[in-house]
Structure 1
Amino acid sequence: MFHHIATKTKIALITGMLSASFIANANDVAYDVTTPQINAQTYILMDYNSGAVLAALNPDQRQYPASLTKMMTSYVVGQALKQGKIHSTDMVTIGESAWGKNFPGSSKMFLNLNQQVSVADLNRGIIIVSGNDACVAMAEYISGNTANFIESMNKYVRQFGLKNTNFTTVHGLDEEGQYSSARDMAIIGSHIIHDLPEEYKIYAEKEFTFNKIKQPNRNGLLWDKTINVDGMKTGHTDKAGYNLVASATNPNNMRLISVVMGVPTYKGREVESKKLLQWGFANFETFKTLEAGKPISEQRVYYGDENNVQLGVLQDGFITIPKGKNTELKARYELDKKYIEAPLAKGQVVGKVVYQLDGKDVASLNLQVMQEVKEAGILGRVWDWLVLTIKSLFS
């Protein structure tokens, strides 16, 4: 029913990495690489480091996220831990609304009323065993109530620049007005890996025992020896079908994130995810082309207290291209304006580095100012105005 006809894949031009979100240019470039057939309503395969979209079907289609929602719940928890607002050893008293009995027939960590449970255990209950009860307990502990916690979840949605996501619950049980997309889930996953490495380690844990009840992680790919999957999250409801966000690395330190949503069967979400990940590793490679803090160009600055400014990137820049094509890669840089003018803030984007293969632009990275340049005094500004005026006469 949901078979995707094999087509040539497209790699999105990338213009930034994890500043607020991945930003893909609309001008996708088609490569002669046949995508696998994926049995899902919607899917995406994204390179974590470059943000390049290697394959996708309806990646912005709004879907019921089911328990993939818990990735954002976990992100809010992880940020609260990182910022010191809560601590792993804090003990949480389980209230009526977080009692396991309130969630019949759905995933839970089996919390008892008035039980004292550590934040560390509740966090594992959310990530490893997808506990709806654990989500409510943590939301109430961090934010006082679930409504306030959901506000925090949607604050990060806006911060990440997600266009097709809105949360109305902390656990993901189907509710009108709650939706996400394959692309948005890949971006949420990338933020967990990038921003919260300690939190992400929990996603690789294969089982969790609480109240003498041992439960396995539902991400079966963690047991698959043929692929190095170290996360992330499963989800299922009647309306959503079977969902899975998975992330894997290869020996070359390439990391891919796959998202499949609306798969018809429990096992199918693992089969389709593995198919995508293996296809990505077989056909593409990712290179660090720009090193953080290493200037690639020096340019004249006008109206500034400095005459020149160095341009480069503040974070390592990566691009993803088909395997075996790296020797054919060409690069150029383009400035947004003919002349760079002060004041300039450190990290300000003033142009881009564009990469080309076979005569086509295939990827780009933002070119940033490496240091602050303040505005010059009145005499300096007048002089530069004269210089630019004369230049404009001859250009």
Structure 2
Amino acid sequence: MQSLTRALMGATALCAAATLAVAQDDPVTITIATVNNGDMIRMQGLTDDFTEANPNITLEWVTLEENVLRQNVSTDIATSGGQYDVVTIGTYEVPIWAERGWLVPLDDMPEGFAADDLLPSIAGGLSYDGSLYASPFYGESSMVMYRTDLMEEAGLEMPDAPSWDFIEEAAAAMNDPENEVYGICLRGKPGWGENMAFLTAMGNSFGARWFDEDWQAQFDSEEWANTLNFYVNLLTEYGPPGAPNNGFNENLSLFQQGRCGMWIDATVAASFVTNPDDSQVADSVGFALAPDNGLGKRGNWLWAWSLAIPTSSDAQDAAKAFIDWATNPAYAELVAETEGWANVPPGTRTSLYENQDYLDAAPFAQMTLESIQAADPTNPTVDPVPYTGVQFVAIPEFQGIGTQVGQYFSEALAGQMSVEDALAQAQDYTTEEIEAAGY
């Protein structure tokens, strides 16, 4: 532990040294576009630590809801608008945008950045042609979060690796709508990174896939019918009102208020549902791997919210200094000092999962690591596919296709169309778009 502390102190010193050249330059303002989740908001609250070391750098924040962030950043970077100097993007965008020359490589980060400490699966998803193009702020998979008290009252015991059949049984047993407690909360808000992130990963475990090896859309398959019918029935019977409008943040709030028996979503949420300052059920939360159907694939994804620099930025040195500060190993120590080890951004560095202080403070740490390591972007489905990506298809066209398909599926959940019609429209739309793109 002492050696780790010395290493972190050294990393802090190296970070300060690396930013010294920037600090001696003329005043500069960098604009940072980020998502409105808890970890990013916490980071904004800690940036006095950065500005004290870099008094010439002024930070301006643009904090947006997930779908809006993606739209704004995608438009700006594709048009070389130069509105942002640091952008918060994910595992889907980084390799595609790097290939197009839209991002600055992060090959020359200071030694204290410790690139070799990044978890291989996370770093691999943020690299292109051997170079890192974004630095992960936190990494995640997905898992089951559940109320241990309600599970016990139901006379059930959550397995470490549950099946979807057990999830349905438990949701039915814990559902108590008269007291505003619902058996399960899941993403219903349309968007390629909202409901389709969940449904694509879920579909993998049901044997579904977006495309066969010849790039033929597969929404007319039995596997997708089984996936979407199960999902719609589960939320219709045991989900909260307004489920078609609920994304990550809405379901997080519901769970923290004690209104969800289970919630299957990002592993990064674990620190928020177990924090007694934010969660009314902090002392009665358990964790399990994402469910499966006995086909060899679990419904868990792989993602990292990461910081990158558009090539259109005219303040790239200052942007690198900020990214080093925000994702350097020393940042974990800063969060631990102010918020406690359980609230350190998870899922990015090997050293965090070797830190006994973190392991002692975060009961979800091992489950998070196992979930991340279990996701395989190069082999995401039961049957072979021509694409990579667990909860997305790593092609440029997916952002538009996934969002439109997510709209159809959200309407099916809302009862505005049947599951059969939603799948038929998804099949037709996806086929048209993928053929137009030349696949």
More strand per residue: 1
Same fold judged by TM-score > 0.5? no
TM-score relative to the length of structure 1: 0.24
More helix per residue: 2
The structure with higher relative contact order (CA 8 Å, sep 6+) is: 2
TM-score relative to the length of structure 2: 0.22
